[in-house]
Each structure stands twice: as structure tokens, then as C-alpha cells.
Amino acid sequence: MKDRKNMEKKDIFGLSIEALHDLLVAYGFKKFRAKQVFEWIYKKSVFEFSKMKNISKDDIQLLEENFTILPARIKILREQISSDNLTRKVLIELPDGNSIETVCMSHDYGYSVCVSSQVGCNMGCAFCASGLTGFVRNLTQAEILLQIYYFNQLLLPANGFVSRVVVMGAGEPMLNFDAVLGALEFLHMETTSNMSYRNMTISTCGIIPGIEKLIDKKLPINLAISLHSVKDDVRSELMPINKNYHFLEVIKAADGYAKATGRQVTYEYILIANKNDTVLDAELLSNALRFKNASVNLIPANPVEEKGFKRPSPNTVERFLQVLKKNKINATVRREMGKDIDAACGQLRSKFISKTLDV
């Protein structure tokens, strides 16, 4: 077990202002101290007590003796920045020695972060590198939040900050529902990041109970469904979860979410050469989504060495897109960011682990 000395202290990262207040008062701090510490962490992304300038030296010493702040305890195993400087990808080692990856992307409308929700994944999707090392554990709410505030710390000196979050990194978010939703609700608070729910997206491979729980939340969070085929045998081959939650039932549940929230559902469709990229595939996809409040995000397959799948030619991608548009399906081809740094989810962590094991 790593970081044993600090693990004996109470980590306060991710606590609500009320919980932080009660904790600090119990340790003898004045009532106003919690608000000051809270603002340093979440408004200014300062994770070291010694840098909190309006706190007395005695209180800083007491804070350091009893508490830690998670972002100050992590280690960056590897960092990559794309050649256009618009994408930054980091591999983070957590205090327990597990690692997660997260990506920050710069857009003309601000910064978005793609976060992981689990260490590893057990969904077994054939095209994805995230599950190559298997599922290890769920991330805590604090570990999910960490991924956003790490980048805020880098962006704030230039007056930047993360304004959008997509839960599309390693792991299946619906199998860590409470921590994921807790993190998004925390980011939404005016006292933290004041982030709009409309700027948040959860992607799922089709865990229907999770979609139903999201409906019950009645929050205008964007829902993305990893679909990738509407041929039963092909989807089951690509996504074993199809045997538990059939794609027609997944679409039905997602349509229910669209009707309950008024939010358009995005269907992610990875185009794989000679697997799901034909005109017939496009026609079948159109039929499945016709008259639904939905859009399709086409993603030419990212190369994953261990999987052997290839991306279709640009002409094949364009042909698929035009079939959808002809059928009045709102569709786009995802803009590629960070291709030169393997910014597809799961690739950095799996490559790092492979090289480590080879040493």
C-alpha cells in the first residue's frame, strides 16, 4: 500500500461544504475556516494548505497534521500534448498505486475533459483498449472530480477552466452510478465549478437500469449510447453486453430518457472496416433511429494494436454519413483530436502497462 503516512490522515477532497464545516469544527477550527478552505480548493484549485494565504500559520500546521487533499497526492506517470497543443492526456497514479487516464481538449467554446469512471473495465468491447487489463475497481467521487480539478489547476493561471465534462474514459459509468452522479452534481454547485448539466455527458454501452435511474434524477444531462451496430450478431460480437441488454431495448430506454428530459440522445457508432460500415448497415441504423430525438456520432475506428481492427476509407465514411442524412438522421463525423498522442480512450494506460510489464 502506497502513501501510508498520508492515508492515516483524513482526505477532505470532494467533501461538501457542510461536511467540511462539521469536520473542521470538530478539530477546533473557527466556523469560517471551512468556507475559506473550500474556496481555495474549488474556486482557485489550490491543493496545498501552505499556499492558502488567508489562513494563519497555526491553522495551516493543524490542517497539514490532520488532513490531505487528493490532487496533491497523485503522481503523473506520463503526459502527452498533441502537436497542435489542443489536447493534453495524462496518466495519473492514485495513492493506492492504481492508474487512470484523463484527457483535456481545447475548443473554440472552452475546455472539456474526458474522465474515467473505473480503473479498467469488464464490458469486453472488442474495439476498446480500456478493458485489456480487466476491471480493477470503481473510482470514488473524489477520484472522478480529481480529473477535472487537475486540469483547472493548469488552466487557471491563463484564466482558463474546464466548462464541459464527458464521462467517456475507461469504465462503464452506469456501473458506478452513485459516484459519477455525485461528481456531476458536485460540479454543478455554484460554490464549486457552477457547471451546467447541459455541459455534461454520460456515455454508456447500454446498461438499462442505469438509464432508468438517470431518468429518475430528472437532470438535463446529455446521454450518449455506444451502439456500433444494429445487427444482432455483429453487435454481440463487438459488445458482449448486447446479450444482457439487447440494443432494441437500449434504444427504447434511451428514447424514454429523451422524452423525459427533452435532451437529444447521441448514438456513438465506431466505423470498422468490413464489419459495420456498409450501405446496408447505414440503412438499418436509420430505420432503428427514425422519428427519435437522436443524433449519430460516427467515429472512424482508432487503431488498437491488440485488436487488429482497421478504419474504413474516407470515401466509405462519407458514403455512410450521406445515407444517414438522406434518411433525415442527424449525423456527424467526430472531429479527431490528439490522434498523434493516441488520445483514444484506454490507449495510453494500456500501452504504459504493457511497457512496464516488459521491463
Contact predicate 168/226, CB 8 Å: no
What is the four-CA torsion angle of 44, 45, 50, 55, rounded to 10 degrees?
A: 40
3 state SS of 3: coil
22 phi and psi, to 5 degrees?
A: -60, -40
Can you give the pLDDT at residue 277? 97
Amino acid at 94: L
3 state SS of 199: helix
Give the Cβ contact number of residue 178 at 10 Å. Answer: 10
Question: Hey, where are the domains in the chain?
Answer: 4-72, 82-358
Give the Cβ contact number of residue 183 at 10 Å. Answer: 28
Q: How far apart are CA 86 and CA 106, in angstroms?
A: 5
Amino acid at 287: N
Amino acid at 265: V
Can you give the pLDDT at residue 341? 53
Can you give the pLDDT at residue 292? 96
Q: Which residues of 211-235 are buried (b: 16+ CB within 10 A; e: fewer)?
A: beebbeeebebbbbbbbbbbbeebb
Percent of the chain with pLDDT over 70: 89
pTM (2 d.p.):
0.92
Q: State the catalytic residues.
A: 101, 345
> Counting Cβ atoms within 10 Å, is residue 295 exposed (0-12), middle (13-18) or buried (19+)?
middle
DSSP of 87-156: EEEEEEE-TTS-EEEEEEEEETTEEEEE--SEES--S--TT-STTTT---EEPPHHHHHHHHHHHHHHHG
Can you give the pLDDT at residue 358? 45
Q: How far apart are CA 41 and CA 25, in angstroms?
A: 18
Q: Which CATH number fits domain 82-358: 1.10.8.60, 3.90.1150.10, 3.40.50.300, 3.20.20.70?
A: 3.20.20.70
Can you give the pLDDT at residue 262? 94
Contact predicate 186/218, CB 8 Å: no
Q: Which residues of 82-94 are buried (b: 16+ CB within 10 A; e: fewer)?
A: beeeebbbbbbbb
Report the mean per-residue pLDDT for the chain: 91
Contact predicate 255/284, CB 8 Å: no
Query: What is Dmax (Cα atoms) for the chain?
Result: 71
Q: How far apart are CA 265 and CA 204, in angstroms?
A: 11
Q: Which fold has domain 4-72?
A: DNA polymerase; domain 1 (1.10.150)
Residue 262: partners with Cβ closer than 8 Å, 6 or more residues away: 220, 293
Contact predicate 163/195, CB 8 Å: yes
Q: How far apart are CA 248 and CA 263, in angstroms?
A: 19
Contact predicate 239/123, CB 8 Å: yes
Task: Please give the average pLDDT of every successive group of 10 residues along the chain, which has 359 residues.
Answer: 68 97 96 96 97 96 97 95 90 96 92 95 83 86 98 93 95 97 98 97 97 96 97 95 97 97 96 95 97 95 70 95 97 74 53 48
User: Helix, strand, coil shares of the chain as percentages rounded to 5?
Assistant: 40, 20, 40
Can you give the pLDDT at residue 359? 35
CA dist 113 to 41, 77, 200, Å? 18, 18, 10
